[in-house]
Structure 1
Amino acid sequence: MAKETKNKESQISNTLIYLIATSQKTITRTDLAEKTGLSKMTISNHINDLIQMGIISEQPTNIVYDHSAGRKAIPLQISSSSPCILGILIKREFCQSILADVSGKIIDMTQTRFSPHMTRDEFIQIPIAQYEKLFSRARRPLIGCGISCVGPVDNKSGYILNPPNFYGITNVPIVSILKNITHLPTFLIHDADSGALVEKLYGRGIPYDNLIYIHIAYGIGAGFILNGKLFSGFSGRSGEIGHTSINFHGPVCSCGKRGCLELYASIPQMQKKIAELLPFFKNSPFQKITEPSWNDILKLSLDGDPIASIALDEFCTYLSYALANTLNLLDFSTIIIGYDSPENSDILEKILYEKLKSSLNMPGSKLEIFHSRFNGEAPLLGSIAVVANEIFSHQLKLLP
C-alpha cells in the first residue's frame, strides 16, 4: 500500500511538472487545480515539495490576478536549478549538442561542423567531445540524453543505420557508445519524429491528437502524432516520406527505389529548375547567385521573383502528391512544416494548402497547414523532447 501511495504521489508530481513545463502561458496553482481536478490543498502540497526539491520555482515578479480566488497569484515555472537534459542533433553537415530543462529552455550549446572526409571514428568522437565540454560547464545535474539524427535509424537497437550521403558511415551503435560515456539513460530518435514530438509537447501541435510533421532540409522526412502519441513504427523507421515513390517509372534513387519524392522535391532539384529558367529572366536576382539556397528561394518568392515562384510552386506540387497519399491513408487534417525561413512567412504553406485542397476528398475548412513554431530547429529541441516525454509518461524518473 505504501508503495502504491508513493507511486500515485509521484505521478501527480510528474503531471504537475508536465503541465508547468508545456504551458504556453503563465500558470498558477489555481490553474493546475482546474486542469487536474485535484484540490487546491493537494496542489499546494505537491508544488511546495517540488519547490523544496529545486524542480519548480515561483515567478514573484510576474504576479497575476486570480479571479476565481479574488486575489493575486504567483505563476510557476521550471526552476533554474532543476535537472537538465543533454540533447544531441546529428545532421549531415554538423553535430550540435545542447543542455536544456524539461520545458525546452536551452541553457548551453555547442556545435561542430563535419569535415568533408570524416571517418567513422572521427564522427563518434564529436558528440563525445561535445558532451564532455557541456558537462564541464554544467552547474545542474543531468537526467538523460536524447539523440535526434538523420535517418534511417533503429531506435530499438540504438543504431544509426545507413543515412544517404553521410560520409559512407553506417551501422553506428550510437546509443550504447554515448550511454557508456555519459552513464545517462539515452534515447535515439529520427529527426522528423523528434520534430513531431517537440511540436506536440511545446509547439503548434499541443491542441491536436493527430498530426503530420514534415521536416524539409537536405531531404524530406515526416513524423506522426497518432492519438496524442508519437508513432514511429516497429523500429523508428516510419516517416521516410522522401523515399516514397511518386513516379514508378522515374530515375533510380540512392536508396535503390525508383521515382522517390526527394528526386523531384529537393533543394538541388529547385536549383536545377532555376538554372533552366535563368536564360529567360535576364534581370532576375538569381543571375548573381551561384548556388541558390533554400532561404534565397523563399525570400525571392516573397519578393515576387518569377523564377523563385516557379521553383517553389513545382516543389509544392510534388510534395502535395506524397502528402495527399499520406493524408488519404491516415485521414489526418493537420500538417506542421518545419524548415529554415528567412522571415516569418507562410508562403509555402499557402501554396501547399491550395494544391492539397483541390486533390483531397476533404472539406477545405478541415485542412490545416502551419509553419513550425521552431522554424527549422524542431529536431534540435526534439532531442530534448524525447527525454522529457519519457519523464512525462512516467518511464523515466525526474524525482528522487
Structure 2
Amino acid sequence: MKSIAPAAELTVATVLADIAIVLVVGYVFGRAARRLGQPVVVGEILAGIALGPSLLGLLPGDLTSAVFPPAGRPYLSAISQVGLLLFMFLIGWEFDRRLVARRKSLTVSVSVCSIALAFGLGVGLAALLYDRHATVAGRHVPFTAFALFIGAAMSITAFPVLARILRDRRIAHTEVGVLALASAAIDDVLAWCILAVVAMVATARDPGDLIQVVALSALYVTAMTAVVRPALARLVRRVESAPALAVITASGVFLSSYATTWIGIHAVFGAFAFGFVMPREPVERLTQAVRRPFENIGLLLMPVFFIVTGLSVDISGLTVTNAVELAAIVLVACAGKMLGATGAGRAFGLPWSDARRLGVLMNTRGLTELIVLNVGVSLGVLDTPMFTMMVIMALVTTAMAGPLLSRRWPDSGDEIAARAAEPVAARG
C-alpha cells in the first residue's frame, strides 16, 4: 500500500525509522561483542557493516536501499555529524597533560616510535597500492595526499577504546596501562596534526590555495590558543547555570567545526581543537554540565555514524587482488604499531613481557580509525575498495587486542597487584 504522506515528510519519517533500527541493531551487536570479550565498538562497527551492502544488500530486493533510501542518507549523515563532532570534542578534552608527566621520556619515545614506524611503513605500502587506487569518483588523487593519508591512518591508536579496555580489565593503573594511555593520548594529537596536513594537500587545488590554507590554519590555532582558551576559562568560572554552560560549549564546538571546514581542513579538527582548549576544572561541575550530556547524546547518535560508514563498506565487492592488499594492510598496521611501541619499551628498560603488552595495546584503533577513514572519503582520497579494506583493518586490530591480552596478560589479581603503579587520572 502506497503512503499518502507528502514525499518530504515521508523521507523524514523514514529517517526516524532508520534511527530506531540503528539503535536496536547496534545495541544487540554491542551486547554480543561484550559477551565475546570484545569492546562494544567492535559490535557496533559490525552492525554498520551488516546493515550495508556487505550483508543486508546481498539479500533479494536490495534491502539496504529499501531500508536506507538514497533520499534519506543526507539526513542520516547530518545527524551522525552531530554525534561525531561532540565525540571529537570529548577526545580533545580527554588529553590530560598529567598522563605524560610521569616517565615523560619513555612516554614520548613510545608514542613517537610507534607513529614513526607505522607512518613510514604506511607510506611505503601506499607506494605499492597507489596505481590501483589513484582514481576516486573519476578524479585523480595526488600521490602525496594518498601516501600521507595511509601513513596517518596507520599511525592511529584509539584513545577512548584503549581506555575502556584498560578499565574493563582493571589494569588502567598498572605501569604498562598508564604508559599505553599516555602514549595513545600523544599519538592521537600527533596523528590529527598529520591528518590536518593531508587535508590541506588534498583540498588545495594549486600552491596558492595551499598557502592560504596553511596561513588560515596558523591564524586559527593562534586564535584558539590566545583568545578562545582564556575566554572559555572566564566563562566556566562565571556561568553558574549547567544548561547555559552546555549550550555555550556545544555552540563553540559547532562554530569551531564550521571554521575549520571553511578553512579547508575538515570539521572534526575544529571539534577536536575546541575540546583541546576547553578548561578541565572544576571537574565536578563540567562533568555534570558538559561531559555527561554530551556522552549521552553520543550514545544515541554515534550508532548512526556506524551505519553511515557501513553503507560505504562493500566487502562483497573485494577481488582476489584486494584480498592480498588487505592482508598487506593488516600486516603493516600491526607491525608498525606493535614493533614501534615494543622496541621503544625495550630500549627504555621495560621487561619483554611488558613491552609486548604495550605493543598490543598501542595497536588498538577502533572508532578513532573510522573517523579518520571517513575524513579520507570526504576528502576524496579513498575509493570504495580501499575504504572497505581499511575499515576491516580497523576492526581486526581492535578485535585482536582482547585475545592477545588474555594470552599475555591474564586477569590475575596477584599479577596486577605486583605491577600496580601509583594511580594516575585516566579518563575515557
- What TM-score, normalized to structure 2? 0.26
Q: Which has the larger radius of gyration?
A: 1
Point out the structure with the larger helix share. Answer: 2
Name whichever structure is richer in strand by fraction.
Answer: 1
| Greater length-normalized contact order (CA 8 Å, ≥ 6 residues apart) | 2
